[in-house]
Chains A and B, each alone.
Chain A
Amino acid sequence: MLLTKLHIPVHGNNIVHRPRLFELLNSGLQRKLILVSAPAGYGKTTLISYWIGQNNIPAVWLSLDKGDNDPSVFLSYIIKGIQTIRHDFGQGAFRLLNTPNSPSVESIASLLINELLSINQNVLLVLDDFHQIRNNEVLKLITYFLEHISVNTHIVILTRSDPALSLSRIRSQNQLVELRSAELGFTANDIFVLFNKKLKIGLSRDDAYVLETKTEGWIAGLQLAALSMHGRDDLSEFVRDLKGDNRYIMDYLIEEVLKIQTDGIKDFLLQTSILEQMSAPLCNTILKRSDSQVILETLENENMFVIPLDNERNWYRYHHLFAELLKQRLYSKNKELIRELHDAAGEWFKNNSMPLFAIDHAIETRNFEKSVAILGEMAEELWKTGQHATLMKYGDFLPDELIKKNTNLSLYYAWILIIAGKNQRAEQFLECAGKITNDIINHKDSSYEAVQFNKRILGKISVAFACLYAKTAFPQNTLNYCKAAMVNLTEEDSFWNSWAWYSIGWAEEVSGHISESIDAVEKALYYGKKSGSIYLITTNAYCVAYLEQRMGLYTSAYRKCSELLREYNAGDNPEISELDPGLGQIYMCIAEIECMRTDFDAAFEHIKVAYTLCRNFSNSSVKVWVRLIYSLILFGRGDFDGIMQLLVETEDIINKNTVSPSARAIYIDMKGKQLVDNNEYENAHRFFKMNGLSPEKEISFVEDRGFFSFVILLIKEGKNKEAETILSKLEIMLQGAKWIETLISVKIIYAILQKNAGDNKKAVICLLKSLELASDEGILMPFIFYYDWIKDLIPDVYKIQASEKTNIPRDLTEKLKQAIEKRNKIIRKSLKAELSTRELEVLRYLSGGLRNKEIADKLFVSIDTVKTHVRNILLKLEVDSRLRAVKKAKELGLT
Chain B
Amino acid sequence: MIIMKGKIRIVIKGHLDKEWKDHFEGMNISYEAGSTILTCNLKDDAHLHGILEIIRDLNLTLISVNPIEDETGSIVPEFQNI
Residue contact A251 to B57, C-beta cutoff 8 Å:
no
Residue contact A40 to B22, C-beta cutoff 8 Å:
no
Residue contact A248 to B17, C-beta cutoff 8 Å:
yes
Residue contact A218 to B34, C-beta cutoff 8 Å:
no
Q: Is B71 an interface residue (CB 8 A)?
A: no
Smallest beta-carbon distance A42→chain B, Å:
8
The answer to whether A250 and B58 touch (CB under 8 A), given A328-B20, A328-B22, A328-B23, is yes
Q: Is A39 an interface residue (CB 8 A)?
A: yes
Q: How far is the CA of A101 from the CA of B34 in the complex (A)?
A: 57
Residue contact A247 to B17, C-beta cutoff 8 Å:
yes
Residue contact A321 to B57, C-beta cutoff 8 Å:
yes
The answer to whether A251 and B16 touch (CB under 8 A), given A246-B34, A332-B22, is yes
Q: How far is the CA of A327 from the CA of B15 in the complex (A)?
A: 19
Residue contact B23 to A41, C-beta cutoff 8 Å:
no
Specify which chain B residues have a CB less than 8 angstroms from the CB of A248 in the assembled complex: 14-17, 36, 58, 60
Q: Is B80 an interface residue (CB 8 A)?
A: no
Q: Is A44 an interface residue (CB 8 A)?
A: no
Residue contact B16 to A40, C-beta cutoff 8 Å:
no
Smallest beta-carbon distance B11→chain A, Å:
14
Interface string of B58-82 (1 = CB under 8 A from A): 1110000000000000000000000
Residue of B17, B23, B56 touching A39 (CB-CB under 8 A): B56
Q: How far is the CA of A862 from the CA of B36 in the complex (A)?
A: 85
Residue of B15, B22, B36, B57 touching A160 (CB-CB under 8 A): B57
Smallest beta-carbon distance B49→chain A, Å:
10
Interface residues of B in 28-65 (CB under 8 A from A): 34, 36, 56-60
Please give me the residue from chain A that is nearest to B23 by CB atom.
Answer: A328
Residue contact B56 to A160, C-beta cutoff 8 Å:
yes
The answer to whether A245 and B23 touch (CB under 8 A), given A39-B56, A160-B57, A324-B57, is no
Interface residues of A in 317-359 (CB under 8 A from B): 320-321, 324, 327-329, 331-332
Residue contact B15 to A245, C-beta cutoff 8 Å:
yes
Smallest beta-carbon distance B35→chain A, Å:
9
Best-surrounded residue of B14, B23, B56, B59 (most CB of chain A within 10 A): B59
Q: How far is the CA of A40 from the CA of B57 in the complex (A)?
A: 6
Smallest beta-carbon distance B64→chain A, Å:
17
Residue contact B59 to A41, C-beta cutoff 8 Å:
yes
Q: How far is the CA of A249 from the CA of B15 in the complex (A)?
A: 9
Residue contact A247 to B22, C-beta cutoff 8 Å:
no
Please give me the residue from chain B that is nearest to A161 by CB atom.
Answer: B56
Please give me the residue from chain A that is nearest to B12 by CB atom.
Answer: A248
Smallest beta-carbon distance B36→chain A, Å:
8
Q: How far is the CA of A324 from the CA of B19 in the complex (A)?
A: 13
Number of interface residues of B (CB under 8 A): 15
Q: How far is the CA of A246 from the CA of B61 in the complex (A)?
A: 13
Q: How far is the CA of A161 from the CA of B34 in the complex (A)?
A: 26
Residue contact B56 to A247, C-beta cutoff 8 Å:
no
Specify which chain B residues have a CB less than 8 angstroms from the CB of A324 in the assembled complex: 23, 57-58
Interface residues of A in 644-676 (CB under 8 A from B): none
Q: How far is the CA of A398 from the CA of B24 in the complex (A)?
A: 23
Smallest beta-carbon distance B37→chain A, Å:
14
Please give me the residue from chain A that is nearest to B54 by CB atom.
Answer: A324
Interface residues of B in 3-27 (CB under 8 A from A): 14-17, 19-20, 22-23
Specify which chain B residues have a CB less than 8 angstroms from the CB of A247 in the assembled complex: 14-15, 17
Please give me the residue from chain B that is nearest to A220 by CB atom.
Answer: B59
Q: How far is the CA of A216 from the CA of B57 in the complex (A)?
A: 17
Specify which chain B residues have a CB less than 8 angstroms from the CB of A40 in the assembled complex: 56-59
Specify which chain B residues have a CB less than 8 angstroms from the CB of A218 in the assembled complex: 59
Smallest beta-carbon distance A129→chain B, Å:
11
Please give me the residue from chain B that is nearest to A331 by CB atom.
Answer: B22
Please give me the residue from chain A that is nearest to B57 by CB atom.
Answer: A40
Specify which chain B residues have a CB less than 8 angstroms from the CB of A160 in the assembled complex: 56-57
Smallest beta-carbon distance B25→chain A, Å:
11
Please give me the residue from chain B that is nearest to A218 by CB atom.
Answer: B59
Please give me the residue from chain A that is nearest to B33 by CB atom.
Answer: A246
Interface string of A190-221 (1 = CB under 8 A from B): 00000000000000000000000000001010
Residue of A41, A245, A328 touching B19 (CB-CB under 8 A): A328
Q: How far is the CA of A328 from the CA of B36 in the complex (A)?
A: 17
Q: How far is the CA of A324 from the CA of B53 in the complex (A)?
A: 13
The answer to whether A39 and B59 touch (CB under 8 A), given A328-B22, A331-B22, is yes
Please give me the residue from chain B that is nearest to A325 by CB atom.
Answer: B58
Q: How far is the CA of A320 from the CA of B59 in the complex (A)?
A: 11
Specify which chain A residues have a CB less than 8 angstroms from the CB of B22 in the assembled complex: 328, 331-332
Specify which chain A residues have a CB less than 8 angstroms from the CB of B60 in the assembled complex: 248
Specify which chain A residues have a CB less than 8 angstroms from the CB of B58 in the assembled complex: 40, 248, 250, 321, 324
Q: How far is the CA of A773 from the CA of B23 in the complex (A)?
A: 78
Please give me the residue from chain A that is nearest to B36 by CB atom.
Answer: A248
Smallest beta-carbon distance A293→chain B, Å:
29
Specify which chain A residues have a CB less than 8 angstroms from the CB of B36 in the assembled complex: 248
Please give me the residue from chain A that is nearest to B31 by CB atom.
Answer: A246
Q: How far is the CA of A218 from the CA of B58 in the complex (A)?
A: 12
Residue contact B17 to A320, C-beta cutoff 8 Å:
no
Q: How far is the CA of A364 from the CA of B22 in the complex (A)?
A: 14
Q: How far is the CA of A161 from the CA of B52 in the complex (A)?
A: 11
Please give me the residue from chain A that is nearest to B55 by CB atom.
Answer: A39
Specify which chain A residues have a CB less than 8 angstroms from the CB of B14 in the assembled complex: 246-249
Specify which chain A residues have a CB less than 8 angstroms from the CB of B20 in the assembled complex: 328
Q: How far is the CA of A590 from the CA of B42 in the complex (A)?
A: 58
Specify which chain A residues have a CB less than 8 angstroms from the CB of B19 in the assembled complex: 251, 328-329, 332
The answer to whether A251 and B17 touch (CB under 8 A), given A246-B34, A331-B22, A332-B22, is yes
Residue of A161, A321, A327, A328 touching B59 (CB-CB under 8 A): A321
Smallest beta-carbon distance A331→chain B, Å:
5
Specify which chain B residues have a CB less than 8 angstroms from the CB of A161 in the assembled complex: 56
Interface string of A236-274 (1 = CB under 8 A from B): 000000000111111100000000000000000000000
Please give me the residue from chain B that is nearest to A38 by CB atom.
Answer: B59
Smallest beta-carbon distance A324→chain B, Å:
6
Smallest beta-carbon distance A268→chain B, Å:
20
Interface string of A8-44 (1 = CB under 8 A from B): 0000000000000000000000000000000111000
Please give me the residue from chain A that is nearest to B58 by CB atom.
Answer: A324
Residue contact B59 to A246, C-beta cutoff 8 Å:
no
Q: How far is the CA of A321 from the CA of B57 in the complex (A)?
A: 7
Residue contact A331 to B59, C-beta cutoff 8 Å:
no
Q: How far is the CA of A329 from the CA of B34 in the complex (A)?
A: 23
Residue of B15, B23, B34, B57 touching A320 (CB-CB under 8 A): B57
Specify which chain B residues have a CB less than 8 angstroms from the CB of A220 in the assembled complex: 59
Best-surrounded residue of A41, A324, A329 (most CB of chain B within 10 A): A324
Q: How far is the CA of A247 from the CA of B57 in the complex (A)?
A: 17
Please give me the residue from chain B that is nearest to A243 by CB atom.
Answer: B14
Q: How far is the CA of A857 from the CA of B51 in the complex (A)?
A: 83
Please give me the residue from chain B that is nearest to A134 by CB atom.
Answer: B49
Q: How far is the CA of A329 from the CA of B22 in the complex (A)?
A: 10
Residue of B15, B23, B56, B57 touching A246 (CB-CB under 8 A): B15
Please give me the residue from chain A that is nearest to B56 by CB atom.
Answer: A160
Interface residues of A in 374-424 (CB under 8 A from B): none
Q: How far is the CA of A327 from the CA of B34 in the complex (A)?
A: 25
Specify which chain B residues have a CB less than 8 angstroms from the CB of A249 in the assembled complex: 14
Specify which chain A residues have a CB less than 8 angstroms from the CB of B57 in the assembled complex: 39-40, 160, 320-321, 324
Specify which chain A residues have a CB less than 8 angstroms from the CB of B59 in the assembled complex: 39-41, 218, 220, 250, 321
9 tightest CB-CB pairs across the interface, nearest first? A39-B59, A332-B19, A247-B15, A331-B22, A248-B16, A246-B15, A251-B17, A248-B14, A246-B34
Residues of A in contact with B (beta carbons under 8 Å apart): 39-41, 160-161, 218, 220, 245-251, 320-321, 324, 327-329, 331-332
Residues of B in contact with A (beta carbons under 8 Å apart): 14-17, 19-20, 22-23, 34, 36, 56-60
Q: A218-B59, A251-B16, A332-B19 are in contact. List 7 more A-B contacts (CB 8 A).
A: A39-B59, A220-B59, A246-B14, A246-B34, A321-B58, A324-B57, A328-B19
What are 25 inter-chain pairs, A to B, with CB distance below 8 A?
A: A39-B57, A39-B59, A41-B59, A160-B56, A160-B57, A161-B56, A218-B59, A220-B59, A246-B15, A247-B17, A248-B36, A249-B14, A250-B58, A251-B16, A251-B17, A321-B57, A321-B59, A324-B23, A327-B23, A328-B19, A328-B20, A331-B22, A331-B23, A332-B19, A332-B22
